[in-house]
Amino acid sequence: MQKRRLGKGGLEVSAIGLGCMGMSFSYGPPADKQQMISLIRAAFEQGVTFFDTAEVYGPNSNEELVGEALAPVRGKVVIATKFGFAPATPGEARWSALNSRPDHIRKAVEGSLKRLRTDVIDLLYQHRVDPNVPIEDVAGAVKELIGEGKVKHFGLSEAGVQTIRRAHAVQPVAALQSEYSLWWREPEAAIIPVLEELGIGFVPFSPLGKGFLTGAIKADTKLDSSDFRNAIPRFAAEARAANQALVDLLTQIAVSKRATPAKIALAWLLAQKPWIVPIPGTTKADRLKENNSAVKVELSPGDLRRIEDAISQVDVQGARYPEAAQKMIDR
Strands 201-205 and 18-19: unpaired
Asked, for residue 197, whether it belongs to a domain, the answer is: yes
- CA-nearest of 211, 228, 212 to 25 is 228
Strand ranges (E), the chain: 3-6, 11-14, 18-19, 50-52, 78-83, 121-126, 151-157, 173-179, 201-205
Per-residue pLDDT of the chain (331 residues; tens, 9 = 90+): 999 999 999 999 999 999 999 999 888 889 999 999 999 999 999 999 999 999 999 877 999 999 999 999 999 999 999 999 986 554 444 556 899 999 999 999 999 999 999 999 999 999 999 999 999 999 999 999 999 999 999 999 999 999 999 999 999 999 999 999 999 999 999 999 999 999 999 999 999 999 999 999 998 899 998 888 998 999 999 999 999 999 999 999 999 999 999 999 999 999 999 999 999 999 999 999 999 999 999 999 999 999 999 888 888 898 988 877 777 777 6
pLDDT at 27: 87
Asked, for residue 128, whether it belongs to a domain, the answer is: yes
Asked, for residue 18, whether it belongs to a domain, the answer is: yes
Please give the Cα distance from 285 to 329 (Å, whole number).
32
Which CATH number does the domain housing residue 96 bear?
A: 3.20.20.100
Asked, for residue 305, whether it belongs to a domain, the answer is: no
Please give the Cα distance from 248 to 255 (Å, whole number).
11
**What's the domain count of the chain?**
1
DSSP sequence for 72-100: GGGGG-EEEEEE-BPPP-TTS-GGG-B--
Quick check: 200 and 7 in contact, CB under 8 A? yes
> Which residue of the set 57, 125, 180, 321 is catalytic?
57
Asked, for residue 223, whether it belongs to a domain, the answer is: no
Q: What is the amino acid identity at position 122?
A: D
Q: For residue 167, how many other CB atoms are within 10 A of its CB?
A: 26
Quick check: 18 and 40 in contact, CB under 8 A? yes
Q: What is the amino acid identity at position 180?
A: Y
pLDDT at 91: 46
pLDDT at 33: 95
DSSP sequence for 268-300: HHHHH-TTB----B-S-HHHHHHHHGGGG----
Asked, for residue 234, whether it belongs to a domain, the answer is: no
pLDDT at 96: 62
With the CA atoms of 154, 156, 162 and 165 taken in that order, what torsion angle do they form, in degrees rounded to the nearest 10?
A: 20
Quick check: 164 and 193 in contact, CB under 8 A? no
- CA-nearest of 38, 44, 117 to 285 is 38
Asked, for residue 259, whether it belongs to a domain, the answer is: no
pLDDT at 58: 84
pLDDT at 94: 53
Please give the Cα distance from 293 to 104 (Å, whole number).
40
Q: What share of the chain is helix, strand, coil (3-state, %, to 5)?
A: 45, 15, 40
| Catalytic annotation present for 57 | yes
3-class DSSP state of 129: coil
Q: Residue 14's domain spans which residues?
A: 3-209+272-296
Asked, for residue 180, whether it belongs to a domain, the answer is: yes
